[in-house]
Chain A
Amino acid sequence: MRIGLFATCLGDTLFPEAVKSTAVLLARLGHEVVFPPGQTCCGQMHVNTGYQREPVPLVRNFAEQFGDASIDAVVMPSGSCAGSVRHQHEIVAERYGDAALRSGVATVKAKTYELSEFLVDVLDATDVGAYFPHRVTYHPTCHSLRMLRVGDKPLRLLRAVEGIDLVELPEADSCCGFGGTFAVKNADTSTAMLQDKMRNISATRADVCSAGDSSCLMHIGGGLSRIKSGTRTLHLAQILGSTRTAPYALTEAAR
Chain B
Amino acid sequence: MSTFLGMPATPPRAPYGTGNLRGERKFPRAAHDELLNEQLRRNLGRATGTIRAKRIGVTGELPDWEQLRDAGSAIKTDTMNRLPELLEQLEAKVTERGGTVHWARDGVEANAIVTRLVKATGSSDVIKVKSMATQEIGLNEHLEAEGITPYETDLAELIVQLADDKPSHILVPAIHRNRDEIRQIFLDEIPGVDPDLDNVPAHLAAAARTYLRQKFMTARVAVSGANFGIAETGTLSVVESEGNGRMCLTLPDTLITVMGIEKVLPRYQDLEVFLQLLPRSSTGERMNPYTSMWTGVTPGDGPQEFHLVLLDNGRTAALADRIGREALNCIRCSACLNVCPVYERAGGHAYGSTYPGPIGAVLTPQLAGMHAAKDDPNSSLPYASSLCGACFDACPVKIDIPSLLVELRHQHTEQAGTTAEKLAMKAAAGVMKSPRIYTAAQKAASLSRSVGVGGRDRVISRLPAPFDGWSDSRDTPAPPKQSFRAWLASAEGAATLREASAEGAARRAADDHQEEQ
Determine how close the nearest CB of chain B comes to the CB of A251; give it in whole angstroms: 12
Q: A20-B487, A188-B32, A190-B386 are in contact. Are A41 and B480 (CB under 8 A)?
A: no
Closest chain-A Cβ to B335's Cβ sits at a distance in Å of: 15
Number of residues on chain B facing chain A (CB within 8 A): 70
Task: Please judge, given known A-B contacts A174-B341, A222-B474, whether A189 and B497 are in contact too, CB under 8 Å.
Answer: no
Q: Determine if A16 is an interface residue (Cβ-Cβ < 8 Å).
A: yes
Interface of A toward B, CB cutoff 8 Å: 7, 9, 11-17, 19-20, 23-25, 27-30, 33, 35, 37-41, 43, 45-52, 54-55, 57-58, 61, 88, 91, 129, 142-143, 145-147, 173-175, 177-195, 218-219, 221-223, 225-226, 243, 245-246
Q: Nearest chain B CB to A124's CB is how many angstroms away?
A: 14
B477 within 8 A of partner (CB): yes
Chain B residues closer than 8 Å to A184, beta-carbon distance: 466-467, 469-470
A175 to B385 alpha-carbon distance, docked (Å): 10
- Of the candidates A17, A24, A146, A185, which one forms a contact with B392 in the assembled complex, judged by CB atoms under 8 Å apart? A146
Are B487 and A146 neighbours in the complex by a CB distance under 8 Å? no
A51 in complex: contacting residue of B32, B410, B497, B500, CB < 8 Å: B410
Interface contact A191-B504, CB-CB below 8 Å: no
Q: Which 6 A-B pairs have the closest CB atoms?
A: A187-B469, A179-B386, A50-B409, A222-B474, A146-B389, A175-B388
Closest CB in chain A relative to B487 CB, distance in Å: 6
CB pair A20–B484 under 8 Å, yes or no, is: yes
A-B contact pairs, 21 of them (CB 8 A): A9-B432, A12-B485, A25-B500, A27-B504, A28-B507, A30-B501, A35-B485, A37-B435, A46-B428, A51-B410, A54-B429, A58-B429, A91-B406, A142-B388, A177-B341, A179-B388, A182-B387, A184-B469, A193-B386, A222-B474, A225-B459
Taking a contact as CB atoms under 8 Å apart, the answer to whether B389 and A143 are in contact is yes
A194-B474 contact, Cβ under 8 Å, with A23-B497, A28-B504, A30-B504? yes
A123 to chain B, nearest CB (A): 12
Within 8 A of A (CB), among B454-495: 459, 461, 466-467, 469-470, 472-477, 479-480, 482-485, 487-488, 493
Check: B138 CB closer than 8 A to any chain A CB.
no
Q: A7-B484, A225-B459 provided; 4 other pairs, C-beta below 8 A? A: A28-B503, A49-B425, A147-B389, A175-B341
> In the complex, what residues of A have CB within 8 A of residue B387's CB?
48, 142-143, 179-180, 182
Whether B31 sits at the interface, judged by CB under 8 Å, is yes
The residue from A9, A43, A185, A218 contacting B477, defined by CB atoms under 8 A apart: A218
Give Cα A55 to B413, complex, Å.
14
Q: Is the CB of A30 within 8 A of B341?
A: no
Among A25, A142, A180, chain B packs the most CB atoms within 10 A around the CB of A142
Residues 108-149 of B at the A interface (beta carbon under 8 Å)? none
* Residues of chain A contacted by B246 (CB below 8 angstroms): none
Question: Which has the most chain A C-beta neighbours within 10 Å: B382, B389, B412?
Answer: B389
Residue with the highest number of chain A CB atoms closer than 10 Å, among B410, B442, B505: B410
Closest to A174 in B: B341
Chain A residues near B469: list those with CB within 8 A: 183-184, 187-188, 190-191
Most chain-B Cβ atoms within 10 A of its Cβ — which of A28, A39, A41, A129? A28
Complex alpha-carbon distance, A246 and B483, angstroms: 21
CB contacts (< 8 Å) of A195 on chain B: these are 473
A20 CA / B482 CA spacing, docked (Å): 12
In the bound complex, residues from chain B placing their C-beta under 8 Å from that of A218 are 476-477
- Min Cβ gap B241→A in Å is 28
Tell me the complex Cα distance, A17–B481, Å. Answer: 11
B342 near A: Cβ within 8 Å?
Answer: yes
Alpha-carbon distance A10/B406, docked complex (angstroms): 21
Would you call B438 and A222 a contact (CB within 8 A)?
no
Knowing A29-B504, A46-B425, the reply to whether A146 touches B390 (Cβ < 8 A) is yes
A141 to B28, CA, bound (A): 24
Closest partner residue, chain A, to B411 (CB atom):
A50
Contact B487 A226 (CB under 8 A): no
For A8, give the chain B residue with the smallest CB separation: B484
Least distance between B183 CB and chain A CB atoms (Å)? 29
Q: Is the CB of A223 within 8 A of B386?
A: no
B389 close to A182 (CB less than 8 A): no
Choose among A33, A57, A142 the residue that contacts B389 (Cβ–Cβ < 8 A): A142
Assuming the contacts A52-B410, A222-B476, asked whether A16 and B484 have C-beta atoms less than 8 A apart, the reply is yes
The docked-state distance in angstroms from the alpha carbon of A206 to that of B247 is 56
CB distance from B514 to the nearest CB of A (A): 14
Whether A12 and B442, one on each chain, are in contact in the complex, defined by CB atoms closer than 8 angstroms, is yes
Nearest A residue to B31, CB-CB = A189
Beta-carbon nearest neighbor of B389 in chain A: A146
Give chain B residues whose Cβ lies under 8 Å from the Cβ of A129: 504, 507
Q: Whole-angstrom distance between the alpha carbons of A187 and B384 in the complex?
A: 11
B273 at the interface (CB under 8 A from A): no
Contact A47 B474 (CB under 8 A): no
The reply to whether A13 and B386 contact each other, CB–CB distance below 8 Å, is no
Asked if B228 CB lies within 8 Å of chain A CBs, one says no
Give which listed residue, B341, B393, B426, B480, contacts A54 with CB less than 8 A.
B426
What are the residues of chain A within 8 A of B422 when measuring CB–CB?
A: 51
Chain B residue nearest to A198 in the complex (CB): B473
Decide: B31 and A193 in contact? CB cutoff 8 A: no
Report chain A residues within 8 Å CB of B413: 49-51
Q: Is A142 a contact of B386 with CB atoms below 8 Å?
A: yes
On whether A193 and B467 interact (CB within 8 A), knowing A28-B503, A38-B435, A243-B503, the answer reads: no
Set of chain A residues within 8 Å of B459, measured between Cβ atoms:
225
Query: Are B435 and A223 in contact (CB-based, < 8 A)?
Result: no
Residues of A within 8 A of B484 (CB): 7, 11-12, 16, 19-20
B27: interface (CB < 8 Å): yes
Q: Is the CB–CB distance between A39 and B435 below 8 Å? A: yes
Q: How far is the CA of A243 from the CA of B506 in the complex (A)?
A: 14
Instruction: Report the minimum CB–CB distance from A195 to chain B (whole Å).
Output: 8
A182 engages B382 (CB within 8 Å): no
**Complex alpha-carbon distance, A145 and B370, angstroms:** 31
Q: Is the CB of A30 within 8 A of B505?
A: yes
B504 proximity list for chain A (CB < 8 A) = 27-30, 129
Q: Which residues of B contact A194 (CB under 8 A)?
A: 473-474
Residue numbers in A under 8 Å from B485 (CB-CB): 7, 12, 35, 37
A186 with B474, Cβ < 8 A, contacts A142-B389, A193-B386 known? no
In contact, B406 and A27 (Cβ under 8 angstroms): no
- Cβ B475 vs Cβ A226 within 8 A: yes
B438 touches A24 (CB 8 A): no
- Say yes or no: A48 contacts B406, CB within 8 Å: yes
Known: A28-B504, A226-B475, A243-B503. A186 touches B342 (CB 8 A): yes
